[in-house]
């Protein structure tokens, strides 16, 4: 379960980084 949680955190981190880099996505 810990491994799955780490993977989810990585995906979330990548998503947040992308969201912050592209303001256009914020309007969605």
Q: Is 17 helix (H, G, I), strand (E, B) or coil?
A: helix
Query: Residue 5's pLDDT is what?
Result: 93
Pairwise pLDDT comparison (12 vs 25), residue with the higher score: 12
Give the predicted TM-score (pTM) of the model: 0.53
Which pLDDT score, from 0 to 100, does residue 8 have? 95
Tens of pLDDT, residues 2-22: 899 999 999 999 999 988 888
Please determine, for residue 25, whether its predicted confidence score (pLDDT) is greater than 90: no
Q: How many angstroms separate the CA atoms of 22 and 5, rounded?
A: 26
Predicted local distance difference test score (pLDDT) of residue 26: 64
Beta carbons of 10 and 17 less than 8 angstroms apart:
no
């Amino acid at each position: 379960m810990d491994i799955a949680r780490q993977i989810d955190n990585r995906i979330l981190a990548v998503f947040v980084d992308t969201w912050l880099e592209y303001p256009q996505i914020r309007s969605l």
